[in-house]
Structure 1
Amino acid sequence: MTMFRNAVWFVKGLQEYTKSGYEAAAKHFASTDLDVNLTGRSFMVTGANSGIGKAAAHEIANRGGTVHMVCRNKGRAEAAKDEIVEQSKNQNIHIHIVDMSSARQVWEFAQNFSQNNTLHVLINNAGCMVNQRELTEEGLEKNFATNTLGTYILTTALIPALKKVEDPRVVTVSSGGMLTQKLDVDNLQFEKGAFDGTMAYAQNKRQQVILTERWGSQHKEIHFSSMHPGWADTPAVQTSMPSFHAKMQSKLRTEAMGADTIVWLAVSAAASKQPSGLFFQDRKAVATHLPLARSRATPQEEEKLLAALDEIALKFKP
């Protein structure tokens, strides 16, 4: 089944996820959707110092939004901030140094942030693809800790703050790679079987889509969405998937193309009219499963995922 899913997915990707796929989709975009003034609205972007996170932060800054850049590396964060401020002429750009793979740090940051700041939109963009099984200092598998648990804790901790504002939104940057995976709730940290970083990442991205659907149904006051940026030419793709990058380089999207739907979901009136909890690609809600792929989880498996994340997250809550 996995080989079938991978093959179908790759053919789909060549048509849709590439630069030419974006250009074809963009012909149908409403050009005025992003003509918005974001003055007075506050956005948090994780992993905002490079790639599509930085591109999204930049677009929001251009439109007058206050941007909270959540980054791991201080030097790179400051360089990105300086560039965004200089080009957007927007001074309301703030840096927060947080390692998203540290559950304790994420809890502490989110709790402090909520006490001192207003937040309208959370963009869960930070992610990693580590190709060997590696544990964090807290003893968690690194891909899971960053992509799934970090996203889960940050969102859960900020939901009360988001409920206090008008038109709150949460956008989670998933990946079309998740279409190749069925949720495996009994092996969340890949303790069993051979470790495959690409598969671990795709599992995490499937988990993010399920979380988005669940949050959307639990918290009606907030608009939740997940999305696939397509195959973009970013530093993360170059380092974690060098052979894919080398083969596909000429076909990859720019960072701005990858960020387009993130920005659209975060700022446009059109996006907020869509039902909450959906998965988007190029400004359109798309299916979360390939045809005939048998990748759907049961409601029980989804419940088990949420219970497991809750249990792990609470161990690190201050």
Structure 2
Amino acid sequence: MSLYQKGVFVIKGLREFTKSGYQAASKSFVESDLNKDASGLVFMITGANSGIGKAAAIAIAKKGGEVHMVCRSLDRANKAKDEIIDESKNQNVHVHILDMSQSGEVYKFADSFSADHGKLNVLVNNAGCMVLERKLIGEVETNFATNTLGTYILTKQLTPLLLRSEQPRVITVSSGGMYIQKLNANDMQLSKLSPFDGEVSYAQQKRHQVILTEELAKQHPNIHFSSMHPGWADTPAVQNSMPDFHRRMQGKFRTPEEGADTIVWLALSEAALKQPTGSFFLDRRPQSLHLPLAWTRESKQDRAKFLKELDELAEKLKPK
């Protein structure tokens, strides 16, 4: 990251990604957008036991939606489920245990869920990780396995189920960190990055997610795809993975509910469906995918190479 990129990113972040940025943007929100009865609609949210995933689950459950929480820890998921039910007064909340970094298990879960359920209206790809040291799961780096590969496989495998529903939606929670990363198509798992940097890895994968959202939107015009940036929200993930950043930004963080607002808007509102599929959102508005003069645009060839290699890796890891 150049000094220019860092400077522009910090200025943009302090102006738009903080609590004050949310407060300024929210003045233009249309309150009636979320006057929605979600009864009869089925929602899946990965990473729904804490942070913005949990906040989104509560908001959707309050609207009457059937919520399926996909989480890694049974104890944390069940505790969050009880809290979601208690706050929303909606008993139709369900827990599924899945480690998104385990590609074979993601395939099995998606196939099992599809066999057991008649429809899925909205998929929210929220689960993510930032492991600061390079760790491998088989031949796949852990951050990449969770943030890019797991998200891709789950979305791809659930697409037929989504297409059974009227106006299905897929929402992927990316990050503003993607603004400082250009797609590295020649080393998509950053195996040559030395020393390994978990924050760079995470930001690169958030760029992956935005690209995948655009490409899947082209492939499946009957599904409304979107990616979004929740802003800088005070969540356990930020506290644990970025303690220095968390300490410096005290007083400026959004609440998890503020971070989740655009997820809920994208999942429920008719206004969201009027926006172009494949767009990237912050505070209910489509955003540019690149900072000015930051040189982060990939070539068509690099994008095609990334997509081809990702799909080949996903197929290779598919259970026989």
Q: Aligning the two structures, in what range does the TM-score lie when normalised by the shorter sequence?
A: over 0.9
TM-score (normalizing by structure 1): 0.98
User: What amino acid is the match of 1:316?
Assistant: L
2:268 corresponds in structure 1 to 267
Percent of aligned positions that are identical = 60
> What displacement does 1:126 show?
0.3
Whole-angstrom distance in 2 between the partners of 1:148 and 1:112: 21
Deviations 1:150-191 (A, max 9, x none): 000000001111111101000000001100000001111121
Counterpart contact for 1:56–1:259, Cα < 8 Å: yes
1:72 corresponds in structure 2 to 72
Task: Please say if 1:286 is aligned against 2:287.
Answer: yes
Whole-angstrom distance in 2 between the partners of 1:103 and 1:315: 10
> What displacement does 1:4 show?
1.7
Whole-angstrom distance in 2 between the partners of 1:187 and 1:291: 25
1:41 corresponds in structure 2 to 41
Cα root mean square deviation, aligned: 0.8
2:258 corresponds in structure 1 to 257
User: 5+ residue gaps in structure 1?
Assistant: none
Deviations 1:192-235 (A, max 9, x none): 03111111000000000000000111100000000000000000
TM-score (normalizing by structure 2): 0.98
Counterpart contact for 1:78–1:95, Cα < 8 Å: yes
Whole-angstrom distance in 2 between the partners of 1:302 and 1:167: 28
> What displacement does 1:139 show?
2.8
State the SS of the aligned residue for 1:94: strand
Whole-angstrom distance in 1 between the partners of 2:172 and 2:213: 8
2:185 corresponds in structure 1 to 185
Whole-angstrom distance in 1 between the partners of 2:193 and 2:267: 39
State the SS of the aligned residue for 1:226: strand
Whole-angstrom distance in 1 between the partners of 2:16 and 2:76: 32
User: 5+ residue gaps in structure 2?
Assistant: none
State the number of aligned residues. 317
Deviations 1:113-133 (A, max 9, x none): 111112000000000011111
Counterpart contact for 1:2–1:181, Cα < 8 Å: no
4+ aligned runs moved over 3 Å, structure 1:
none
Whole-angstrom distance in 2 between the partners of 1:19 and 1:90: 29
Deviations 1:220-274 (A, max 9, x none): 0000000000000000000000000001021000000000000000110000111
User: What amino acid is the match of 1:103?
Assistant: S
Whole-angstrom distance in 2 between the partners of 1:292 and 1:36: 41
